[in-house]
Amino acid sequence: MADALLKDIEKRMDSAVDAVKREFAGLRTGRASTGLLEPVMVEAYGSSMPLNQVGTISVPEPRMIVVNVWDRKLIGPTEKAIREAGLGLNPATDGPMIRVPIPPLSEERRQELVKVAGKYAEQGKVAVRNVRRDGMESLKKMEKDHEISEDEQRRRSDEIQKLTDRHVQRIDEAFTAKQAEIMQV
């Protein structure tokens, strides 16, 4: 029972770290990235669809993203969705494809992006700590219900703390890497 609890806790902590990394992928750096356009939703066929479901996103060069739209009728709505996504991008239509040049970032904007990345990292750490808290409460309940011994509860608590420390460290490492990527000119 306690082993299943630890596996569940680790899985939930892993998903918190993955969520932070996905948030980081959506942050604009000086380079083009397909992750930059992933949150863009396009009005297509009477509903809102993710951009990657209406076309292929590629990065042919460091400062350019190209979207090949599969249905020609969706070129206009796709271009509009990219422009209105609040990413500060100005797409240009070129036949069946949309070219999205990535402008260089100013120093002030880089500092703002680092702060946003820091907030994402902190939210991820809070999520990991919440998982730890839930796990600790479950262990205390298991001990209270005499499912595990007091020694077992202490040992499992130490394991949960080690898992927490490891996942918080992974978030810190991802933040440090993203910060360096944002500040790179």
pLDDT averages per 10-residue partition of the chain, 185 residues: 85 92 76 78 87 88 88 88 81 88 81 86 94 93 90 92 95 92 79
pLDDT at residue 172, rounded to an integer? 95
Number of structural domains (the chain) is 2
Of 60, 86, 101, the position where a domain reaches its end is: 101
Determine if the pTM surpasses 0.85. no
User: What is the CATH classification number for the domain harbouring 129?
Assistant: 1.10.132.20
CA 91 to chain centre: 23
Sequence-ordered alpha helix ranges (H) in 27-148: 75-83, 107-144
pLDDT of residue 176: 94
For 18-64, write each residue's pLDDT tens digit.
999 888 877 766 677 777 787 788 988 888 888 888 888 888 888 88
Identify whether residues 123 and 167 lie together within a single domain: yes
Residue position matching structure tokens 């993955």: 18
* Chosen domain end from 101, 125, 157: 101
CATH of the domain at 80: 3.30.1360.40
